[in-house]
C-alpha cells in the first residue's frame, strides 16, 4: 500500500515527535529540602501556590512534556488556616476567570470538611512520590480541590492542627 504525500509527512512528523519525547524523557526539579518562600519562588520552575505565610516549603515538579506535569508541594503556613483557605479559593477564582476569558469552561472547586473526606481524596501520582509526601498523616483538616474529570487538576489538603498544606497538581 502506497502512502500519499500528506500521510508520509504526517508519519514522519509523528515519528520525530515520538523519538524526541522518548529521548528527552522527563525532567524532575525538586527543592532538596525546606525553603523559605522567596527562595522557593525563585528556584522553582513551576508556579507554586504559596500564600504569604508559607514557609518550610518543599516542591517536586515532574515534567514529561506538553501537558504532562505533576507538581507536589508541601508547606507550613499560618496555623489559623482561614488565610490559607482564602488564598486557595482565590487561586481557583483566578483560574476560573482566566479560563472564561479564553472561552474555556471551569468548574468551582469541591470543599469537603467531612473527616472521612480526607481519606477518600488522598492519592498521588503512580509515577513516583517524593519521600515527604504524606498527606495521610493529617488528623484534622479539610480538602479543597478540582471536581473529578476537571483539567487542570488541583488538590489541596489542609492540616488544621499543624498548619501544613499538601498540594498536588496535574496540568
pLDDT at 64: 72
Q: What pLDDT does 26 receive?
A: 63
Provide the whole-model pTM.
0.76
DSSP labels, 48-117: ----TT-EEEEEEEEE-STT-EEEEEEEE--SSTHHHHHHHHHHHHHHHHHHHHTT---PPPEEE--HHH
Cβ proximity of 74 and 49 under 8 Å: no
What are the average pLDDT values for consecutive 10-residue runs of the chain, which has 171 residues? 49 37 58 88 82 92 75 86 91 89 84 73 59 87 86 88 90 80
Please give the backbone phi and psi of residue 47, each rounded to the nearest 5 degrees, phi first.
-85, 105
Handedness of CA 32, 34, 39, 44 (dihedral sign): positive
Report the pLDDT value the prediction gives residue 9, as an integer from 0 to 100: 39
| pLDDT given for residue 156 in this prediction | 92
CA distance 171 to 7: 31
Amino acid at each position: 500500500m502506497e502512502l500519499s504525500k500528506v500521510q508520509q509527512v504526517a508519519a514522519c512528523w509523528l515519528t520525530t515527535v515520538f523519538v524526541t519525547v522518548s529521548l528527552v524523557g522527563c525532567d524532575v526539579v525538586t527543592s532538596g529540602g525546606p525553603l523559605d518562600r522567596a527562595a522557593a519562588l525563585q528556584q522553582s520552575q513551576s508556579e507554586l501556590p504559596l500564600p504569604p505565610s508559607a514557609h518550610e516549603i518543599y516542591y517536586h515538579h515532574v515534567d514529561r512534556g506538553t501537558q504532562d506535569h505533576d507538581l507536589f508541594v508541601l508547606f507550613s503556613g499560618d496555623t489559623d488556616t482561614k488565610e490559607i483557605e482564602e488564598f486557595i479559593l482565590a487561586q481557583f477564582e483566578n483560574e476560573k476567570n482566566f479560563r472564561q476569558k479564553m472561552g474555556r469552561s471551569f468548574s468551582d472547586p469541591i470543599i469537603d470538611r467531612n473527616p472521612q473526606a480526607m481519606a477518600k481524596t488522598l492519592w498521588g501520582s503512580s509515577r513516583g512520590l517524593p519521600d515527604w509526601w504524606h498527606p495521610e498523616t493529617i488528623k484534622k483538616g479539610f480538602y479543597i480541590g478540582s471536581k473529578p474529570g476537571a483539567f487542570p487538576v488541583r488538590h489541596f489538603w489542609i492540616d488544621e492542627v499543624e498548619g501544613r498544606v499538601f498540594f498536588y497538581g496535574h496540568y
